[in-house]
Structure 1
Amino acid sequence: MPQFVRQFAVEIDNVTGGAIEHVANDGRRTVLGHVERPATGTIEANDGFWASKYSHAIDGTAGHLLATSVYVMRSKVWPEQPYDPLYYENFDPVNGQRDWTTRLLNIRPDRYADADHGNWLADTIYTDIPGGTGIFGGKSAIPTGAPLTYLDDTAGTWRPIADYFRADPTAAPPRRIRFTAYRPIARGASPSYIEFENWAAGDTVAGRTHTSNGGIYVGYPNGSKNHVADVVQRVEGIGRFAGTEFAHVGQMDTNHPGAFTFSTSPYVGFSWDQNVRGGFQIVPANHVKFLSNDLGQNSFIGRPQWLIVGPIGADPDVLFDRRYIIDGKLSFSPGWEAIAPVFGMYARTTFDPANLAESTYVEVSYDYGTTWQPTPEFVGVHDPTTCHTQTCPQNWTNLRVHLAYPAGP
């Protein structure tokens, strides 16, 4: 298990004009932006965000940054008790029967206050920080799992956010909140990359037919790497994923318990035009199965824009079995939802085109890792039937996500 070392905090004064500050470990403060419109409530996560139930802060508390992104930050503020996956057996999406639901507090970059004019969301802190910068993609970007606390004015101390909501989970959010960013340390250093061998058992890629799945590895500065999961469906297409308009080509768009998204389109900023978007997504197998089988979403399985992650040695055919099968046995465990390093706690949206050493970004290989190339630019929707150049995703043999942990601001 990795250790986590504190790097910095981000404090938000949840009032109109309130400061959003980067707070260094030595106490130095840097104003990153301001609140344009404060949040006055929280909201229940919809069933599509079922993976949120499995997530928790790195210190074990309930309240934390649940999703880090270039265009939204979503935080879990309640409840405290862990979710019981066995409830899955009794889930009834038609009649709405379900166990507790995660309560969310959201933060948005600039332009959203204007875009939502007249329909402002009570659960959202609207800021003047441009998407893709600051806490939304700059050096002050925060990883998922960052503990969320609030300032208890009576005691003058910072306390877990769940303490605030314990008496009334529907209460208005507190005025001052704080996220604390940590970096992981394992094998004497912070992990430097996550690599995906882009094939599943039975796939033919770059002239080779594979009898076993591609592996997913965490790499370290000393050259060692650890096999942590398998690929059960390869990515070989591009889709219009939300938020990629705020990201540069190769930049991480989003990381949360059920998704790891990267942009292949250039940064344009806020836009109503979905055709400026482009990217691909990495998702955990059990999340896919729940969304597909229980919610009827016609995505993911057999769709080229998604790489699907499963346990080591998983049979790709398990995707067509609505049950959760792990190591050949029936299981109701989350199976990679909210599990580091892919779906939490390691990756940040931080990106600087002039300083890739302090950026999180993905590179691709066409020759099984012998050489690595920058992510090619693709906008819109592409799949093997419409994309016919050497740089097309169906020709990617490997993906390598470089990890960075700048302390900001």
Structure 2
Amino acid sequence: MEVKKLITAIWLIWFCVPAWARPEEIFRLEIPAEAGGMARAVRPDGQVKVLGKVLRVPTATRYPGYTASAWAEPGTVAATAVNAIHVTVSVEDEKGRIVSLVPAETIAPAAGTAAAFVIDCPAGTGLFGGWAPVVGDRARVRRADGTLRELTAAQLPEPGETLVVSVTEDPDGPYMIDFENRVGGEVRAYWRGGSKAIATVERPFRGVGRFSGSKFQRRSALRANHCGVICVSTSDVGDIGGFQIIPWEHSFSPEMKSAWEKTQWMIVRSIDGEKMTARAPLFKGVFTPGAQALEKLWDFWSTYGRRSLVMCRVDGGEWRRFDATAGKDDHAFDHITHLRVYAPFTREPGKKTRLGDFR
């Protein structure tokens, strides 16, 4: 009987407890530190996807970086978005020092002019879309002889070297997260075998705001994720409109205090008393901007699964995509009662079919 109880307990732990600490590398990004070099993604089997030409390399770091960059572990991706990727190089005096990757045509106020790789890649696609990393992915520098070193402020990538980002996915991570858009509403994560409430809503969102990067993302899709923000685009490509989800701790940052007065932010708070900043699954390790509708990755499931999707319910009705909503309107979403954010994936859930390459 005791053995049977033990087996049952192990089964419950394996199937019913979220495991957010077993990421696997699904590809690596390689960004040469030389103008004219080609940025690319390399799969574990050696497949290569060219992502664009390097137009400019960083000659400095940006310090201080935006507030949440200080919450990332040095040497990791601090933000992933359709218009920029930021890597925290170091944390000094509780402020982050960053280096960035940006598309040639973009709006990325957090990236310093001299502190960024500029890539000839359209915003919202490729490196800034389906091939984007997740927050927390490790960034290092590969020397000309093939050995790796840490990325530091004192030693940025030099000609002949390559910035290498290991892009990961946790196969046991959540596949979607639901938010009840009301004060005291539940935030619930769903994963293989079960679900769990992970936070509560301190303040619901009601309005749409002018978050500039949403210009490069389609509606009902993730615009950005960093250690203290999930930004959702509600406007069509070319228009500007969206809202943000932030952790309770970030709502007291100098630039975010208006989140308690304005309606374009949802504020969430953990139920276990621990900080939510830089913590999976909301603010680390899961989300990317995702592939555009016509963008293809290495096979059917990666192409389909890495398309970002955010849905809502109006007055408790059926799940649906957001209507195209741009500009600033404090009451555009007064009737949205529920929100659902899907996590990206690159393999079929259950692995029951073999489709081969998606062509």
TM-score (norm 1): 0.72
- Answer yes or no: is the 8 Å Cα contact 2:69–2:98 preserved in 1: no
Which fold has the larger relative contact order, with Cα–Cα distance below 8 Å and residues 6 or more apart in sequence? 1
Q: Which residue in 2 is equivalent to 1:18?
A: 37
1:54 deviates by 2.2
1:361 deviates by 1.5
Is residue 180 of structure 1 aligned with residue 166 of structure 2? yes
1:218 deviates by 1.1
Is residue 260 of structure 1 aligned with residue 230 of structure 2? yes
- Answer yes or no: is the 8 Å Cα contact 2:70–2:97 preserved in 1: no
In structure 2, C-alpha distance between the alignment counterparts of 1:337 and 1:14, rounded to whole Å: 31
1:298 deviates by 5.3
C-alpha change, 1:221 and 1:100, in structure 2 (3 Å) is closer
1:367 deviates by 4.4
1:249 deviates by 0.5
Q: Which residue in 2 is equivalent to 1:37?
A: 56
Is residue 361 of structure 1 aligned with residue 309 of structure 2? yes
Secondary structure at the aligned position of 2:207 is classed as: coil
Is residue 278 of structure 1 aligned with residue 219 of structure 2? no
Q: Which residue in 1 is equivalent to 2:353?
A: none
Q: Which residue in 2 is equivalent to 1:194?
A: 177
In structure 1, C-alpha distance between the alignment counterparts of 2:64 and 2:170, rounded to whole Å: 28
Name which of structure 1's ranges 7-16 and 345-354 shifts more when overlaid on structure 2.
345-354
Is residue 104 of structure 1 aligned with residue 98 of structure 2? yes
Matching residue's letter, 1:64: T
Secondary structure at the aligned position of 2:330 is classed as: coil
- The Cα offsets for residues 4-56 of structure 1, whole Å up to 9 and x where unpaired, read as 1111101000211111011000122221111111111211134xx33222222
C-alpha change, 1:130 and 1:35, in structure 2 (3 Å) is same
Listed as ranges, the gaps of 5+ residues in structure 2 are: 1-18, 295-302, 348-356
- The Cα offsets for residues 367-398 of structure 1, whole Å up to 9 and x where unpaired, read as 44x620111110100122xxxxxxx4111111
Is residue 126 of structure 1 aligned with residue 118 of structure 2? yes
Q: Which residue in 1 is equivalent to 2:271?
A: 312
Q: Which residue in 1 is equivalent to 2:190?
A: 219
C-alpha change, 1:380 and 1:125, in structure 2 (3 Å) is same
Matching residue's letter, 2:187: I
- Answer yes or no: is the 8 Å Cα contact 1:215–1:312 preserved in 2: no
- The Cα offsets for residues 86-125 of structure 1, whole Å up to 9 and x where unpaired, read as xxxxxxxxxxxxx253211111112259x99xxx811011
Q: Which residue in 2 is equivalent to 1:77?
A: 89
In structure 2, C-alpha distance between the alignment counterparts of 1:149 and 1:124, rounded to whole Å: 15
- Answer yes or no: is the 8 Å Cα contact 2:174–2:281 preserved in 1: no
In structure 2, C-alpha distance between the alignment counterparts of 1:312 and 1:237, rounded to whole Å: 25
Instruction: Return the match for 1:288 from 251, 258, 274.
Output: 251
Is residue 54 of structure 1 aligned with residue 71 of structure 2? yes
In structure 2, C-alpha distance between the alignment counterparts of 1:5 and 1:100, rounded to whole Å: 30
TM-score (norm 2): 0.82
In structure 2, C-alpha distance between the alignment counterparts of 1:141 and 1:126, rounded to whole Å: 15
Aligned residues: 319
Matching residue's letter, 2:38: A
- Answer yes or no: is the 8 Å Cα contact 2:83–2:106 preserved in 1: no
Is residue 160 of structure 1 aligned with residue 143 of structure 2? no
In structure 1, C-alpha distance between the alignment counterparts of 2:330 and 2:320, rounded to whole Å: 20
Matching residue's letter, 1:252: L
In structure 2, C-alpha distance between the alignment counterparts of 1:249 and 1:100, rounded to whole Å: 35
Instruction: Return the match for 1:4 from 23, 43, 66.
Output: 23
- The Cα offsets for residues 308-336 of structure 1, whole Å up to 9 and x where unpaired, read as 011228xxxxxxxxxxxx4xxxxxx7x21
Kindly, what percent of the aligned residue pairs are identical? 27
The correspondence of residues 223-242 of structure 1 with structure 2, limited to 5 A, is 224-242=194-212
- Answer yes or no: is the 8 Å Cα contact 2:27–2:166 preserved in 1: yes
In structure 2, C-alpha distance between the alignment counterparts of 1:179 and 1:170, rounded to whole Å: 19
- Answer yes or no: is the 8 Å Cα contact 2:131–2:291 preserved in 1: no
1:246 deviates by 0.3
Matching residue's letter, 1:197: E
- Answer yes or no: is the 8 Å Cα contact 1:258–1:283 preserved in 2: yes
The correspondence of residues 303-342 of structure 1 with structure 2, limited to 5 A, is 303-312=262-271, 326=273, 335-342=275-282
Matching residue's letter, 2:286: Y
Secondary structure at the aligned position of 2:258 is classed as: coil
In structure 1, C-alpha distance between the alignment counterparts of 2:188 and 2:322, rounded to whole Å: 19
- Answer yes or no: is the 8 Å Cα contact 2:26–2:167 preserved in 1: yes
Matching residue's letter, 2:102: R
1:405 deviates by 2.5
Q: Which residue in 2 is equivalent to 1:144?
A: 135
Is residue 382 of structure 1 aligned with residue 307 of structure 2? no
In structure 2, C-alpha distance between the alignment counterparts of 1:159 and 1:240, rounded to whole Å: 40
Matching residue's letter, 2:215: E
